Structure 1
């Protein structure tokens, strides 16, 4: 008298006519095998662990949802020790958590990865903008942060900080400007405005009347022209003497009548 076939035997028997090109659907196979669903998936996990079947989630254009494809491998059951079987999950059956849909073509996978990276970069940029706004909150331009200081706080480049500040173009959170004599911009809170900015104090206008009075009260400058053409200039304790040739040059510079004629005679 033969014993009743087990769930594993019934699954393998019903999969005998299926291949990787024509796999069986998990729902159809479960309905055909019958019995408890937990025992069915326990047998599926055991067959996967022993490499007697392969599974894959498939979703064609005509399918309303993804489904699990199952087909036999034709491999013989390996005589693995119980430690290996336990490591492979033979004694701890569980459902496979394979993604329901994964792009098959490289172009679709690349597009999905780019979307994920773009979303990640957008979130990081928003967080950095908020950090910049917190750094300069309540700080006027005199206490504002320089570009390189913000870059050091965020651990990014100066160009990245410049891009983030430009993208905050509404001007409500941050603004940028320079103090007199500085060559680099500061990032500050526009609500704090120009507070703390020290404006240069204009120099007092010169007192023209006092200067004129001082000139009038000073001793007059004395000049002496000698018969050999020398010129002496005496200003208090300072005496300056010009040679005859220098005196002639000064006369020509001042436009003294006859100085040009005298110069020609000397040269002749």
Structure 2
């Protein structure tokens, strides 16, 4: 029984690669399951000898299309969430969006994404956060120096903030750098001091609650004061400052 369970797990891992790794899928289509580039264990060959490679290619293209352009589980997709990052990759790295998407889909970071709520694989992360993790790992063919990370983070943080405002946190975890929950509000702040001046990334605050979000330039003292209030630590604030911040949070719909 245990042996069959282990074999089943190995079959699922191969299926994952066939669906999400274009190079592996191409090798499978060209060489078959017994091909040297595929290198399946002998006891798995019979499980894959009747796979329709044309249908497999179609499914792969559909997955890429949803990742690029958006869909039910992917939200606005890479194009909607990362327009500036994709422009930088296309212009500076000569990497078209489909190539970026294929590299992302084949990565370990993409495996943390869940395209359906309440997946049997457990709670995952939103597509924007997974893409930031992918780019932060400095993919060799796209951004080996990590130069683009601040720009990717800014766009990812904005996308995650909007997703949480629409209720995504009910089914997805949030672990993006510089973001955490204070009370019921997701809060994030980053200076982006390391970003090139041409990108015009200012210190930015990201706040999201049920149905509301705030994204905009701010300074660290304001952010720290707001999070103190959200954490029910008002003693650190003077009464007038506390009242002003309470009014601000209320006007944003976060109180």
TM-score range (shorter-chain normalised) is under 0.3
TM-score by length of 1: 0.21
Give the greater-gyration-radius structure (CA). Answer: 1
Structure with a larger share of its residues in helix: 2
